[in-house]
Structure 1
Amino acid sequence: MEVVVVTLAYTLTGRDTEIVSQLRTVSDTLQTAPGLTHLRSYRGRQKGGAYALFLCTWDSENSWRKAQEQYSPHKLLQEAHKRQELLVIDPLQWVMHYVWGYTRPLAAPTLAAIHLMSAPPEQEVLLQNGWRRTLQHHVQEPALAYAFLAHSTTPTTDEAHEGPVTVLFCFFSWSSQMERDLFYSEKQIRTMHAFSEQGSSVQILALEPL
């Protein structure tokens, strides 16, 4: 089964040229990893700081296990930070399985965003099913260029919950700002987002290609 490794790194501000260069070096190294079938690299900024996101798809869990010692994005970012200060905190990384995915033929994604949700396992199942149904209905009249839904393979912990949580990851991309605005204006998407905030910790980050 394919796995997607999601790595989120909060980076320093003020040295954009140097930091982007380091992030691209990490991306170039990942491109050479055996078993890697797909790589998407992004950067974004919001009030309070900047961040980078690496989405790495491996053809199997076995390929990922064999490659992670040399090609884990988390480790490569740490090594880059040792060479030249790059990170605000240690990168966050999750190993995930795909739940749902969609690609619109001929669409060229230029804008993207992630919805990162942490919830108790039983609540995550409700969120996963809700988002899957909503997105399956949405793509009948698509504003999305590319999107997928994934969830972490093992429970983790966070500050907002007492017990273990599962991470649900929604990735959305669009060909234009108009498509993005249309997507977020739709009632089903707004309803599902409100439901997500009731049962989980939700973080939304806007992205652009690295």
Structure 2
Amino acid sequence: MQSPSQLNSVSQTHHPDQLGKYEIVSVLGKGATSTVYLANDPFKHRQVAIKLFDPELLSNQGFKRRLHQIFHNEASLVGQLHHPHILAVYDAVTNHKNSYLVMEYIAGGTLETYCCIDNLMPIEQVIEVIFKATRALDYAFHHGVIHRDVKPANILLTRMGDVKISDFGSALWADADETQLIAGGSPAYMSPEQIRQDPLSQQTDIYAPRCGDV
């Protein structure tokens, strides 16, 4: 996701005022394949984060399969994983115009903020983050899900210091045919078995925290 300063460069880009029943408030971030908006849910009376996939990329044959796999993976989480340290996915919508995910909104940042040598997290907090993150990943694994892309940018921190694992777009489901899935993960945080394209296990997701990369 781009920083607030980078978002200024796209401030003139047209953004929707509404997606379905959701009223768009502002842009939270923009990535290579999607834009995340802060929105209001008028029926639940709560703020949500909406990940809107780029419609031009969805129609591009070069990206279509990958983006549809990402959308399908995250959409599959709707109502499936209920854990205090996993970002909730409330809804998934796809139609002839748009494909988007409606998620829990977390007012805070990501663990990536603390990856700079001059802004390191206290060791006591590091231990707490790793403990909560691994509990969430263990829960997901026992529900048939391997995240495959655990990295600082996908670990959200609330303003109260709590932890939320996000972005299951590269996730592997236990009943999926691995030969049919597109490789997922970020190279800097991939486990050896991911790099070798060997069968994955619960240890795949704890590789980065265990090695201290997260």
Highest RCO, 1 vs 2 (Cα 8 Å, sep ≥ 6)? 1
TM surpasses 0.5: no
TM range (shorter): 0.3 to 0.5
TM-score by length of 1: 0.35
Report the structure, 1 or 2, having the larger strand content: 1
